Structure 1
Amino acid sequence: MEASSTASETAGENEFDLIIIGAGSGNTIPDERFADLKIAIIDDGEHFGGTCLNVGCIPTKMFVRPAEIVHGARSAQHLGVTAPDVRANWAAVRDRIFTRIDAISNSGEEYRRSGEPNIQLVRERVRFISDHELETDSGRRLRAERIIIAAGSRSVELDPLPWSQRVITNAEALRLEQLPQHITVIGGGAIGCEFANIFHGFGAKTVQLVRSMPLKSVDSEVAATFAQVADWDLRTGTEVTAAHETEAGVELTLSDGSQMITDLVLVAAGRIPNSDRLEATAAGFDLHEDGRIVVDDYQRVLRGGEPVPGVWALGDISSSHQLKHVANEEARVVAHNVAAEFSGEQLRRNTLGPVPTAVFSNPEVAAFGESLSQAQARGADAFAVRHDYGATAWGWALEDETSFCKLVVDRENGKLLGAQIIGPDAAILLQPLIQAASQGQSVRGLARQQYWPHPAATEIIENTLLRAEAQLAAH
């Protein structure tokens, strides 16, 4: 690929062929196709490499695993196993995790800083002053004909609980010097449920406050089961109305009229896109009501409903799915389409689906697509089937009485409209269902067209598919 009119050779210090804002999934874009372009990668994060690597998916799951081991040992009496004194060492686990992650982050930053002659790393906050021009906090004005916006999102701050040493986000929670004795987690989404599980597993007295129900975006039966099974203090229909910090901690007044004191408050009440910090309105970009930048099927940024030439967006700043695997796919689409402008190839639409989500808590939850109520609300002739873990040999081994798999099926063609699983290894068990739905397969014959190892967890999926097929045959 060659930059038009040899811009790489003649442009000034602040003129680029391509600017990428954000070093998470955006950092994956430069490859051999872009070796002839003068590129700036802009990122102002405390740690290089984006949310997932440093304060999100990866370190969170590395904390989940020790918490999971402790919980399994503590709750194994029904299996004839007694291990009441098992504990996880917060400092040791934290140091093990960030010794690895910080090394990856630091080496990635160093490579972008000095490893490629055509790439310049800019470690400053920037804002748009026009659709192709940016200004940094230090006053530099950067310009490019092609700009990729991958600047992510941040935690929502609540009015009664401004950020402080005692009111923190998941980013600060992961690097705490010591485990708090008492922590209150606000929010019932994936982050709130995962962190409540982590701190409870490590031995902190944990209270989770949820305004309605936890995991309200999934099937209501799954959400209700999660609320019932979670073994920390999970309070539904409850929110903070007032807060006051004292030497003893944070005094919270709750919507039910009660009060409590906690050492720390972890706010996980949602995330907002960073479009305001970039001053995207200065460039006239279209925005959704929640602040996300509007893009078309090709990830092109829109203004007045039309694509802005050479401007693209991906990840949390534009997507309704705040998920790393979605951002990565969008980055692949953007990389192809930016390269296609030079090669003359056809642009690629972002058509991949359905989108799976997983919550690595206890119990684990994984889902994609619609619940039965959602499918019926849009007029689909759909039905749901459920199969419990406890009705399989693997479920007997677990002595599991609460976990289940649920499928939503189109009665007309037998295709999967959605699936929800709550229980051990839910995210793994969901994958064959995602594959079937992605390929448009009917549930008819799907179970019997392959072997299912016995007595493995996958027999849960096999038997749920057989239930769905039987219900199709009955009508």
Structure 2
Amino acid sequence: MRTFDLVIVGTGSGNSILDQRFGDWNVAIVEKGVFGGTCLNVGCIPTKMFVHTADLAATPAASARLGVDSTLDGVRWGDIRDRIFGRIDPIASGGREYRVSHADNANVTVFEGTGRFTAPKVLEVTLPDGTSETITAPKFVLAAGGRAVVPDVPGLADVGYETSDTIMRLDKLPEKLTILGSGFVAAEFAHVFSSYGVDVTVVARSGALLRREDDEISERFTELASARWDVRLDRKSVRAERAGDVVRLHLEGPSGAETVESDVLLVAVGRTPNSDILDTTAGGIATVPTGHVVVDDHQQTTVDGVYALGDISSPYELKHVANHEARVVQHNLLHPEDRKASDHRFVPHAVFTSPQIASVGLTEREAAASHQRYVVAVQNYSDIAYGWAMEDTTGFVKLLADPVTGQLLGAHIMGPQAASVIQPLIQAMSFGLPAHEMARGQYWIHPGMPEVVENALLKLELE
């Protein structure tokens, strides 16, 4: 058994921990897949590169009402795909090469295989050739991420479905796509493929799309999505089968049995942490029923010296959260006598669909359940000057605030550039800036899109 000072499992955000300050540490890195983790290879970065091209492809259809007649001559799927992964793949391979071969990493040993705990702080790594090596260290960092969930639907394993890990590398663009799921992955890929001209059907088990968002966001988005795609709500997937080039998904819905046919089936029902693959139980590491590793405020697990970060331990499953947690873990490894705590007070997220959605803090449903006092303000994009320019009729900002202190409790935006428009609200919540002070304590560029935030702040009826 080989002994190291530190073992890092996973090369997403966990790979960012090592810098020159670890130069005298003997470090092992374990990676069972491609260097760079979910975000770089199959997650937020390539998906948003596809979303950008989808936004461009969708522009001609929306421009006529503004007096601009334009057409979409075609979508070169292969060119789009190859441009995106022509940038992504070299970054992943370059990251691997740097850790394996560069002089900066003479103290680092890379194990390319699947790690599994056999005892606390003892990891057996199965290598591609079938051999294994056992390693140990006083310090571990678990940053092994998660994977797509595949539901238990009879026949599904035999039809050749896609997940978010594979859908972006299709050989050709399908004519028809069925998406099983109702969350952010489903919403983003429905936008991408429908913008490219694909006939999209979305099958949801629940009665709404994006149901974890504020109810007003979820309801309005579901309405808009239903006008754009074939959205089947309250459907149970009974069976899947393949007939030649066609995938059939048999459903039970409010009106009885029905069937959806398509060229490609995308399964997008959620993700699960990779704690089971690591066999964290054998390592003495506690998990919650969802499989997420239990960590304290310092990102330490129930085993002293074993830290975890990112999707394997975080219910947020967001890259910016994993990066924050990696910085905390890095500090705590280097300064065990002066450890820092993670700050998860105001974690924002965005859904890069159309219209774009962004959120931070409490939804109104959560605020009501907490029994605290709050006031609400809603400002439509259509009521600001830039909204007139865009002729936007669906976007809005919704704010929740404490009526006494003016502190923002939640912010929810649906509309153009929502992920950017929400940033000053995240800043205000993080630094305790009261709503009206934020609205009147600075200039707001006119006629800029952030005026929708200014007007929403001023609408809050504070005491």
Within the alignment, does 1:229 sit opposite 2:218 as a pair?
A: no
Choose the corresponding residue for 2:143, options 146, 150, 161. 150
Within the alignment, does 1:336 sit opposite 2:328 as a pair?
A: no
Within the alignment, does 1:444 sit opposite 2:449 as a pair?
A: no
How many angstroms does 1:194 deviate by? 0.5
What is residue 455 of structure 1 aligned with on the other side? 447
| Secondary structure at 1:65 match in 2 | helix
- Separation in 2 of the partners of 1:458 and 1:239? 41
What is residue 103 of structure 1 aligned with on the other side? 90
Unaligned runs of 5+ in 1: 1-11, 303-307
Unaligned runs of 5+ in 2: none
Within the alignment, does 1:61 sit opposite 2:58 as a pair?
A: no
Contact 1:17 1:38 survives alignment (8 Å): yes
Task: Give the TM-score taking structure 2 as reference length.
Answer: 0.95
243-252 or 157-166, larger mean C-alpha shift: 157-166
Distance 1:86 1:219, change over 3 A: farther
How many angstroms does 1:69 deviate by? 0.9
- Separation in 2 of the partners of 1:225 and 1:374? 18
What is residue 41 of structure 1 aligned with on the other side? 29
| Secondary structure at 1:283 match in 2 | coil
- Separation in 2 of the partners of 1:89 and 1:100? 17
Contact 1:293 1:301 survives alignment (8 Å): yes
Deviation track 1:317-369 (CA, whole Å, cap 9, x = no partner) reads 0011010000000000000001113xx4x100112430000000011000011
- Separation in 1 of the partners of 2:438 and 2:86? 45
The one-letter amino acid of 2:134's match is R
The RMSD of aligned alpha carbons is 1.3
Within the alignment, does 1:119 sit opposite 2:112 as a pair?
A: no
459-468 or 210-219, larger mean C-alpha shift: 210-219
The one-letter amino acid of 2:47's match is T
Residues paired across the two proteins, number: 450
Contact 2:215 2:365 survives alignment (8 Å): no
- Separation in 2 of the partners of 1:297 and 1:86? 53
What is residue 212 of structure 2 aligned with on the other side? 217
Contact 1:41 1:122 survives alignment (8 Å): yes
| Secondary structure at 2:240 match in 1 | strand
How many angstroms does 1:129 deviate by? 0.7
| Secondary structure at 2:304 match in 1 | strand
What is residue 264 of structure 2 aligned with on the other side? 264
The one-letter amino acid of 2:224's match is V
Choose the corresponding residue for 1:179, options 173, 176, 196. 173
Choose the corresponding residue for 1:91, options 50, 56, 78. 78
- Separation in 1 of the partners of 2:394 and 2:190? 20
What is residue 312 of structure 1 aligned with on the other side? 307
- Separation in 1 of the partners of 2:74 and 2:60? 9
Contact 2:156 2:240 survives alignment (8 Å): no
| Secondary structure at 1:347 match in 2 | coil
Choose the corresponding residue for 1:435, options 427, 437, 460. 427
Contact 2:178 2:261 survives alignment (8 Å): no
| Secondary structure at 1:276 match in 2 | helix
Deviation track 1:442-464 (CA, whole Å, cap 9, x = no partner) reads 11221111111111101101110
Within the alignment, does 1:197 sit opposite 2:191 as a pair?
A: yes
What is residue 51 of structure 1 aligned with on the other side? 38
- Alignment of structure 1 residues 383-398 onto 2, 5 Å: 383-398=375-390
| Secondary structure at 2:276 match in 1 | coil
| Secondary structure at 1:428 match in 2 | helix
Within the alignment, does 1:421 sit opposite 2:421 as a pair?
A: no
Distance 1:238 1:76, change over 3 A: farther
| Secondary structure at 2:50 match in 1 | helix
Contact 1:383 1:410 survives alignment (8 Å): yes
How many angstroms does 1:77 deviate by? 1.5
Choose the corresponding residue for 2:117, options 128, 139, 147. 128
How many angstroms does 1:165 deviate by? 6.5
- Separation in 2 of the partners of 1:239 and 1:412? 46
What is residue 318 of structure 2 aligned with on the other side? 323
- Separation in 2 of the partners of 1:447 and 1:414? 11
Deviation track 1:220-258 (CA, whole Å, cap 9, x = no partner) reads 111111111222222222232211122132111112211
Within the alignment, does 1:382 sit opposite 2:374 as a pair?
A: yes
Contact 1:166 1:263 survives alignment (8 Å): no
Contact 2:178 2:260 survives alignment (8 Å): no
- Separation in 2 of the partners of 1:49 and 1:196? 26
- Separation in 1 of the partners of 2:452 and 2:151? 41
The one-letter amino acid of 1:208's match is V
Distance 1:433 1:374, change over 3 A: same
Distance 1:159 1:54, change over 3 A: same
How many angstroms does 1:373 deviate by? 2.1
Deviation track 1:67-107 (CA, whole Å, cap 9, x = no partner) reads 00111221221111222334321110100001110111111
How many angstroms does 1:410 deviate by? 1.1
Distance 1:108 1:164, change over 3 A: farther
The one-letter amino acid of 2:223's match is Q
How many angstroms does 1:163 deviate by? 4.3
